Amino acid sequence: MQLKQLVAIAVIAVSIYACKEDNSAEIAFKKEEAEHVEEEKILEFGFDINNYIVKRDTIRKGDSFGEILGRNNIGYPNIFQIAEVAKDTFDIRKLHPGRPYTLLYSKDSENDSLPQPETFIYQPNQEEYVVIGLKDSIHAYTSRKPVTYVEKIATGVIESSISKTLEEKGLSQKLAYKMADEIYAWTIDFRRLQKGDRFKVIYTDKYIDDTIYAGVQNVKAAYFEHNKDSLYAFQYQTDSIKGIVDYFNEDAKNLRRAFLKAPVQFSRISSRYNLKRRIAVYGYKVRPHKGTDFAAPNGTPIMATASGTVVESTRRGGNGKFVKIRHNDTYTTQYLHMSKRNVKKGQYVKQGDIIGFVGMTGNTSGPHVCYRFWKNGRQVDPFKEDLPDAEPISDSLKVHYLEFIKPIKQRLDNIHFLEAEPKDKENTISESPII
């Protein structure tokens, strides 16, 4: 009996010891796993951030490159040398307030009384960044964050406006602009949409670093039911060399006219073309207004309403700063009162290119662009002209276009209208890069 008890005790002891060994092995594995996780690289701007002390800040008003480095313990002789090396890569004078920058310090500098950064990284926009190495071999280069394009679909039924419908679905208002100003500008008056009008759209969203939403990149295809008409639109590149992309219907007819309806987005007409205009300030004398005024905030981009060559980019009298574009032997346009011009005389611009920014130069009582339009050398009201269509698809491309849109049209037709979608629902077609 005593022997049996001793054996039992021995078995229990061995079991307990074995359990302890197993547990130790599990703890060791978990520790090793944790260490492995800690050692994983966290890449940002091409650097493993785990290897540095990271300081993030934004450019303040009045900041200069030298002042930022001086605040971080880099002396003037070194600042001058760094600036000389960097100037061929990036103009260090163009640091914009509010834009972020990052300083990377060696972990060995933790105990230094005056730690100096090894690297300065500036982000002029969401995609681009400038890296300037500050120690040892001073160097500078620019790079871009990885960009992903995700194709999605959206549908909607109009209750009051396109903007309200998109807002209720948590979708970008840029979709409204693209449909109203880029795709259907000459076929649908979006100020007069009717309750029950509906749309379907295949579009591409842009993401930076897979996480930062950068807005709608483009619209691949759309379908709009308005006034019982079915209006298709398909994006198609007609000139790969010049990069000309346009929208056509299912019969290959261009949906645009040769001219945009307005030179600025989301604006309102504050004064129309009127040859009999009378103004109280001038004693109600007739003061013809041979342009169309589009009111918009200072700094709003002004677009060329059609492709052409800049024949004037200057400042003169009551016109203030202005740009004038000759589109062909028949048509010329002019854009007055700019705060800043963005093109030079002789430069060729494409429809939609930014040629300047809204301002108040010259004779003006508020920020706007006065849009003037010439036909055969005479100023006319573009809204009363039968303007030409944009370039049609060439006969050589038409067959390819009709084949190209077949599968896209089929996809559009197979998308069902969802009358009551959840507000934040997004219908993703593809979650992988498509271009």
Which tens digit of pLDDT belongs to each residue from 145-190? 999 999 999 999 998 888 888 888 888 888 888 888 788 888 887 8
Distances (CA, A) of 31 to 20, 24, 36, 129, 206: 16, 10, 9, 37, 40
For residues 274 and 376, membership in a common domain is answered with yes
pLDDT above 90 (res 283): no
CATH number reported for the structural domain that contains residue 319 in this entry: 2.70.70.10
My answer on whether 308 and 362 are in the same domain is yes
Q: Are residues 214 and 138 in the same domain?
A: no
The model's pTM: 0.65
User: Mean pLDDT, the chain, as a whole number?
Assistant: 83
96/159 same-domain check: no
In a domain, 4, yes or no: no
The answer to whether position 401 is within a domain reads yes
Would you say residue 19 lies in a domain?
Answer: no
- Checking if the pLDDT of 52 tops 90, the result is yes
CA proximity to 299, closest of 325, 267, 271: 267
- The total number of structural domains that make up the chain: 3
Report if residue 35 sits inside a domain. no
The mean pLDDT of 33-37, rounded to a whole number, is 51
Q: Which amino acid is at 427?
A: N
Exposure of 45 in the CB half-sphere (CA atoms within 13 A): 23
Model confidence band, residue 427 (pLDDT cutoffs 50, 70, 90): very low
Give yes or no: residues 366 and 294 share one domain.
yes
Residues 215-242 have a mean pLDDT of: 89
Q: Are residues 306 and 212 in the same domain?
A: no
Q: In terms of domains, do 73 and 117 share one?
A: yes
294 in the same domain as 361:
yes
Give the structural domain span for 242: 147-256+391-428
In a domain, 350, yes or no: yes
Mind listing the pLDDT tens digit for each residue in 56-99?
999 999 899 999 999 999 988 889 999 888 888 888 888 999 99
List the CATH number of the domain containing 81: 3.10.450.350
pLDDT the model gives residue 5: 58
The last residue of one of the domains, among 88, 114, 144, is 144
Are 151 and 238 contained in the same domain?
yes
Which residue, 124, 144, 164, sits at the end of a domain? 144
Which residues have a Cβ under 8 Å from the Cβ of 266 and sit 6 or more positions away? 177, 296
Q: Are residues 370 and 423 in the same domain?
A: no
Residue 251 resides in a domain: yes
**Final residue of a structural domain among 144, 170, 185:** 144
Residue 350: CB partners within 8 Å, gap ≥ 6?
Answer: 242, 244, 304, 307
pLDDT of residue 277: 62
Pair (140, 160) in one structural domain = no
Instruction: Label residue 14 by pLDDT band (50, 70, 90).
Output: very low
Per-residue HEC secondary structure of the chain comes to CHHHHHHHHHHHHHHHHHHHHHHHHHHHHHHHHHHHHHHCCCEECCEEHHHEEEEEEECCCCCCHHHHHHHCCCCHHHHHHHHHHHCCCCCCCCCCCCCEEEEEEEHHHHHCCCCCCCEEEECCCCCEEEEEECCCCCEEEEEECCEEEEEEEEEEECCCCHHHHHHHCCCCCHHHHHHHHHHCCCCCCHHHCCCCCEEEEEEEEEEECCCEEEEEEEEEEEEEEECCEEEEEEEEEEECCCCEEEEECCCCCECCECCCCCCCCCCEEEECCECCCEEHHHCCEECCECEEEEECCCCCEEECCCCEEEEEEEEEHHHEEEEEEECCCCEEEEEEEEEEECCCCCCEECCCCEEEEEECCCCCCCCEEEEEEEECCEECCHHHCCCCECCCCCHHHHHHHHHHHHHHHHHHHHCCCCCCCCCCCCEECCCCCCC
Q: Are the beta carbons of 78 and 86 closer than 8 angstroms?
A: no
Do 151 and 139 fall within a single domain? no
26 belongs to a structural domain: no
Domain-located, residue 15: no
Could you give the CA distance from residue 96 to residue 119 in angstroms, rounded to a whole number?
Answer: 19
Among the ranges given (95-104, 169-178, 280-289), the one the predictor scored with the smallest mean pLDDT: 280-289
